[in-house]
Chain A
């Protein structure tokens, strides 16, 4: 068998998380709503209605374009894509054809082996979403709630080479979308949808062979599996002397199977032309500068900085920059803490992330702010509390909203570091164990740990272990 490589391009549809739809004032999110309750004359395509552009959709679209290193177009235009389908109430979709909001761009993927892979963006434009349809007993039922939700359609160049790479693209794109705050990017809710174009060629060849299009690969697993299946099918077909035809395939995620939707690319003629109902979208030099300024440090940049600035491992820096609010939290905590940044990282990667998981919250939603976390770690460093108390404090602060020091004070959780109080406890322990004291004095100094344990038991764990050890030695050697 020849050595083949798979050539993949992804077409993604990204729902922008604006409050309202792109061309009318209905709210954009209908997840909780009954069918056809979040509609108006505009988005249900009634005769005589006209679209009015949502400024926020333009802002978010431009921000995404900037984050993808695309050129933000100072003048973009809307066009009509004409076709008949029941989920498209106007009979045309308002989209951007030849003068989209963003041109070019790329996404750098970090790969498992630590290398980077650049995926070029072919096209990035604003458009409106269509409605939803479902089949019930042979009838197609249509819900217009989703009509007019703002979308960015983003198409990559055929730069991906495996299902795994395609999955990575989606994972990292999803991270970026949430990072810059333009989309919730919840694939289960259809905020991020994907079609994949797949072809194969002999490794080393530069030709682009006939591709098939797989529709509805709407989860990370689906992308991995569907592309894998399709690549396998194409290779087997070509190896057995067959020829790949430009099918459109449907991925059935329930049965992990590809099925044929259309046997040939129908000669669709969308008859694009400028939508006369909408004026060109203008972004002034100042507005574009403002959008660039609003663009936060991106995940890969921040990860690299965490390594150099805080001395974190690549692994830790990667985890802490998975999500923007977590990395913001980390930086704020480091800023409030006087010790090693690595200590904060350890806390966040273990106890804090466990808590986030349990509570189903993101870092910015915690009551326990980064300053409180820094304070807790600081108290441990200063010997005011022990590590176990520190861990229990996380939950207490989160639940009460009180400052860590207040809780320690109120609940008497602080360590007994006071020499007189500690001496009294130690004296009592020594008095109860004359044999052990004698043995110690006879040279069995390994008993020190046992004495520390006894003091701890007596104080309910609140004795400062360092100070206890010092005093024990002092008193036993007297």
Chain B
């Protein structure tokens, strides 16, 4: 059985997709651990899944709630939400511009 491996190139792509930056030490550690975990994941391929098995999202079928009525209930503390932002200006949340970003 041939195992899937995460190549260094793919790994770098994932780091970008995840919006992360890694130190060399982290990079080595994470790269190795991911390939170990992948070995575990690949063991799923050994399972004969019977025809017609539907993917299960929760295990059981949740008897959850029905969609809600279209009724307005204002949240009373929107200012507290804005106050959580590291930087804000006139009630707007402030971030640097995209410009220059790849």
Contacts and interface: CB of A to CB of B under 8 A. Distances in A.
Direct A–B contact in complex, judged by CB atoms less than 8 Å apart: yes
Interface in A97-143: 135-136, 138-143
B86 to A, nearest CB: 12
Interface stretch (A40-48, A167-175, A317-325, A351-359): A40-48
A53 B90 CA distance: 31
A46 B89 contact: no
A459 interface: no
A34 B97 contact: no
A431 B82 CA distance: 88
B94 A56 contact: no
A248 to B, nearest CB: 14
Interface string A7-30: 000000000001110000111000
Interface string A41-75: 10010100000111111100000000000000000
B29 interface: no
B75 A40 contact: yes
B92 A279 contact: no
B74 A26 contact: yes
A269 interface: yes
Interface string B62-102: 10111111111111001001101000011111111111000
A313 B68 CA distance: 47
B95 A279 contact: no
A269 B17 CA distance: 8
Contacts of A56: 69-70
A2 to B, nearest CB: 38
A191 B84 CA distance: 30
Nearest to B82: A36
A288 to B, nearest CB: 15
Q: Which of under 10, 10 to 19, 20 to 34, or 35 or more describes the interface residues of A?
A: 35 or more
B19 interface: yes
Given A269-B17, A279-B62, A55 B93 contact: no
Given A40-B78, A55-B66, A279-B62, A86 B71 contact: no
Nearest to A276: B57
Contact of A19 (B72, B90, B96, B99): B72
B78 A37 contact: yes
Contacts of B91: 34-37, 143
A450 interface: no
A142 B75 contact: no
Contacts of B64: 279
Contacts of B92: 35-36, 141-143
B64 to A, nearest CB: 5
B81 A86 contact: no
A139 B70 contact: no
A90 interface: no
B89 A39 contact: no
A38 B89 CA distance: 17
Contacts of A44: 81
B67 A135 contact: no
A4 interface: no
Contacts of B71: 19-20, 25
A142 B57 contact: no
A27 B17 CA distance: 34
B78 A281 contact: no
B99 to A, nearest CB: 8
Contact of A53 (B68, B75, B82): B68
Contacts of B68: 25, 52-55
A140 B69 contact: no
B58 A140 contact: no
A141 B81 contact: no
Nearest to B81: A44
B94 A281 contact: no
Nearest to B65: A52
A41 B94 contact: no
Contacts of B94: 139-142
B90 A39 contact: no
A323 to B, nearest CB: 25
Given A25-B75, A39-B78, A141-B92, 15 more contacts: A25-B71, A35-B90, A35-B92, A36-B82, A44-B81, A54-B67, A56-B70, A135-B97, A136-B89, A138-B96, A139-B96, A139-B97, A140-B97, A143-B92, A276-B57
Interface of A: 18-20, 25-27, 34-41, 44, 46, 52-58, 84, 86, 135-136, 138-144, 269, 274, 276, 279, 281
Interface of B: 17, 19, 57-58, 62, 64-75, 78, 81-82, 84, 89-99
16 contacts: A20-B71, A25-B68, A35-B92, A36-B91, A46-B81, A52-B68, A53-B67, A54-B68, A55-B68, A55-B69, A57-B70, A84-B19, A86-B95, A135-B97, A140-B97, A281-B67
Which 7 residue pairs across A and B have the least CB separation, nearest first? A40-B75, A56-B70, A141-B92, A55-B67, A25-B73, A53-B67, A142-B93
